[in-house]
Amino acid sequence: MNTRLSTPRRETFLVSVIIAALVIIGLIVPLPFFTGYGFGLLLIAYLILLAGVLLENL
């Protein structure tokens, strides 16, 4: 299996980092949405970053 990886665009990387940072802040300071769905949002942030690496121009 030959998988071609590419670097994610800056916007894709920033979106995933912002979501992950908000979840981490939500663990320290109770934020209504980010505290309750922390694990799911971290998974979404990782999947966004993964899509940016696997798909070109994303």
Q: Give the pLDDT band of residue 31 (cuts 50, 70, 90).
A: confident
Residue 5 within a domain: no
Range of the domain at 40: 10-54
Residue 3 within a domain: no
Residue 4 within a domain: no
Q: How far apart are CA 5 and CA 14, in angstroms?
A: 18
| pTM, to two decimals | 0.82
Residue 17 within a domain: yes
Q: How far apart are CA 42 and CA 58, in angstroms?
A: 19
Residue 2 within a domain: no
Number of domains present in the structure of the chain: 1
Residue 39 within a domain: yes
Percent of the chain scoring above 90 in pLDDT: 50
